Structure 1
Amino acid sequence: MEEQQKRLVVSILAYAAQRGLSVAQLCRLTGIDLDALKRDREIIIKPQQVETLWKEAIHLSEDPLFGLHFGESLQLSALGIVGEIIKSSPTVGDALTQAASLATRVTDLIRMEITRGKKSFTIEFVPTASGEQQQFTITFRQMLDFLMVFTIHELDGLLLERIVPNAVKYLVAINDAAEYERVLRCPVKKAKVCVLEFDNRYWQEPVISANHELQRSLLAKVQSATPGAQSLKSRIYTYLMSNSYLGIRSLEDVAANFHISSRSLQRKLQEEGTSYLELSDAVRKSLAVHYIRSGSYQLKEISGMLGYNELSAFTRAFKRWTGKAPVHYQAESAAS
């Protein structure tokens, strides 16, 4: 539990940095030893420190839905051994069953219960004994948001497609229904339970493991390409790159994740001498070159991963970026 708690805290801090917050300030306010985290030394993080971390992250980001947006951006690799077990499962059903059994390693406030019906299966997020005493605390609410949205994105990563729940039920009243609907991809109904419902057709689907290798290489590429960058342009670029294994995100999705309107994001990027279109185009170019040089993908696969419906459209874009057709670039890379 201690190691998973530490990983969760590191992931929260990494997302805070992506949002432009000061990690050093957050650690100072919460009493967390940043140097120990950086050096991966043994460190005990108390529940009160996690509670304070959530509070300060919400305050500094001015985002009351910080946990929801954090879950939207997190990848399985950030969960360490839990993520490794989940993604090594043969089917989605097995992966979810494993995730439910391991949820208490991530938090002691909420457990996951899975029920299968004839047409659908449900995942219920149930307060534990300690969670029942803290249902209206910041930590409980942020962890609940995080687990619900992360479960949906976990399915995205396991199947390499955008998964939409049949229904979403939520335990407490929400103030920003439109944002919850955007992130959870379904209208949210107030209920006495917290539940995600999915079509049964996903249950026996085999887990696609290749995307996790792809994601790992993308994250390594991001870490080497943008060390310590703090400008909005750099943070958007990093966000697009690290989440691109599921396709390039829309302007609206990225703006919402950064808790800013689409118009304001475009204006701020313009002040930094760029635009969202230019950034997304730069990401596609970088990824296209990266995929081709890796030698692991066919051009048609690369075209699809970058969001092009036709190979011809990808070919035109690649010629614009490099002055060469992708097939010629691929041949030159293989020969070198």
Structure 2
Amino acid sequence: MKQLVLSMIAYAVQRDVDATQLCKLAGIDLTALKRKNAALVTAQQLQDLWLNASRLTNDPLFGLHFGEALQPAALGTVGEIIQSSATVGDALTHAAALTHLVTDECRIEIQRSVKTFTVKLLPATDYGATPPYAFRQLIDLLMVLVIHELDGLLLEKIVPQAVRLAYTVPDPVEYERVFRCKPSKRAGEYVLVFDIKYWDEPLLTANYELQSLLLQKVSSMPQPSAQPQTLQTRIYNYLLANSYLGVSSLNDMAANFNISPRSLQRKLKEEGVKYQDIADAVRRSLAVYYISSGNYPLKDISWMLGYNELSAFTRAFKRWTGSTPVNYQSL
């Protein structure tokens, strides 16, 4: 729970929210929260944190976007269960048993059939069709995390066959973008349905060394400051922290920050930079970091940076550094 709260605050800071103001409104002592033996955040504090984070970012879908931005945290969870899991099904089963470490508001149950497997979120309280605001945000967050956890296990973007929610979503188009399929409403259900073909897929353990490197680089980044940051800095940090399946597009970045692509481009132009410049800076930084860290296959590094062809990665790397990846690796 502590890590979830700290991650929520950090994401709000990326969205240009003052951390001190947010914590004050939620009744949370941020300095005390960072201590090793910090007291638990109360249910009321968490409710106030969700409400004020949404208000200060002017984003009614804050939980959905927060979940989309929590990919490294999802990979960290995967890292904890990978050693005891041989397949995707094993890993999901183990992860479901750890839900109580994140929240006691619901638990996760997994069911299998001949053609599909289903991830069900079972609320501790039956709220009917009008659950409290904070609970809806939490459900959005957890469901997106399940999808990203599968992404992390298989190193590909997984598309659910169905997403069912007990409430009517306020922005169906944005939910469909994040969930990768159109959500439907069904009383009492919070459900994700996936093709059974993924269940017995073996985990690609070799890839987790590269993912672990990404987490190390992210954890070494300066912690978000209470002082305002430029938009390009906030975008750079976001892209770097969420790059395990490639660098987000301009449209996805704008949607996560809850502004239009045109507005995002205009704001960056005022700072004298283009979105593509920031994206390339992130790719270059990660490429050099991965290659310098050890003898990892260049095809894996290329894939992690979002290049489907090694030749495309090679051309880009030479443009950035003046050297091919192979020559740089031998230095």
Q: Same fold (TM over 0.5)?
A: yes
Alpha-carbon offset, residue 83 of structure 1: 5.0
Partner residue, 2:152: 157
- Greater Cα offset, 247-256 or 70-79: 70-79
| Aligned partners of 1:226 and 1:238 also within 8 Å | no
| Aligned partners of 1:266 and 1:276 also within 8 Å | yes
Write the mapping of 1:281-292 to structure 2, written as runs, cut at 5 A: 281-292=280-291
User: Any gaps of 5 or more consecutive residues in structure 1?
Assistant: none
Distance 1:85 1:291 in 2: 22
Partner residue, 1:120: 116
Q: Does residue 171 of the first structure (1) align with residue 171 of the second (2)?
A: no
Distance 2:58 2:102 in 1: 25
Q: 2:185 aligns with which of 167, 179, 190?
A: 190
Tell me, what secondary structure is at the counterpart of 2:330?
Answer: helix
Partner residue, 2:199: 203
Code of the residue aligned with 1:109 in structure 2: it is E
Partner residue, 1:256: 255
Q: Which has the higher helix share?
A: 1
Q: 1:12 aligns with which of 8, 27, 46?
A: 8
Tell me, what secondary structure is at the counterpart of 2:98?
Answer: helix
Deviations 1:262-304 (A, max 9, x none): 1111111111111111111111111111121112312233223
Task: Tell me how large the CA RMSD over aligned residues is.
Answer: 2.1
Code of the residue aligned with 1:165 in structure 2: it is P
Write the mapping of 1:273-288 to structure 2, written as runs, cut at 5 A: 273-288=272-287
Alpha-carbon offset, residue 134 of structure 1: 10
Deviations 1:226-261 (A, max 9, x none): 554621101111111111111111111111111111
Code of the residue aligned with 2:179 in structure 1: it is L
Partner residue, 1:136: 131
Assess, with a 3 A threshold, how the Cα gap between structure 1 residues 76 and 266 changes in structure 2: closer, same or farther. closer
Write the mapping of 1:212-223 to structure 2, written as runs, cut at 5 A: 212-223=208-219
| Aligned partners of 1:16 and 1:57 also within 8 Å | yes
Alpha-carbon offset, residue 165 of structure 1: 0.4
Partner residue, 1:309: 308
Code of the residue aligned with 2:322 in structure 1: it is G
Code of the residue aligned with 2:14 in structure 1: it is Q
Tell me, what secondary structure is at the counterpart of 2:244?
Answer: helix
Q: Does residue 110 of the first structure (1) align with residue 113 of the second (2)?
A: no
Tell me, what secondary structure is at the counterpart of 1:14?
Answer: helix
Tell me, what secondary structure is at the counterpart of 1:246?
Answer: coil
Tell me, what secondary structure is at the counterpart of 1:32?
Answer: coil
User: Any gaps of 5 or more consecutive residues in structure 2?
Assistant: none
| Aligned partners of 1:110 and 1:131 also within 8 Å | no
Distance 2:135 2:195 in 1: 28
Distance 1:151 1:51 in 2: 22
Write the mapping of 1:221-232 to structure 2, written as runs, cut at 5 A: 221-228=217-224, 230-232=229-231
Q: Sequence identity of aligned pairs in percent?
A: 57
Distance 2:139 2:123 in 1: 9
Q: Does residue 74 of the first structure (1) align with residue 70 of the second (2)?
A: yes
Code of the residue aligned with 2:70 in structure 1: it is L
Assess, with a 3 A threshold, how the Cα gap between structure 1 residues 99 and 310 changes in structure 2: closer, same or farther. closer
Distance 1:78 1:187 in 2: 23
Deviations 1:117-146 (A, max 9, x none): 111111122221x35489521121111101
Partner residue, 1:101: 97
Tell me, what secondary structure is at the counterpart of 1:244?
Answer: coil
Distance 1:261 1:101 in 2: 39
> How many aligned positions are there?
326
Distance 2:181 2:67 in 1: 16
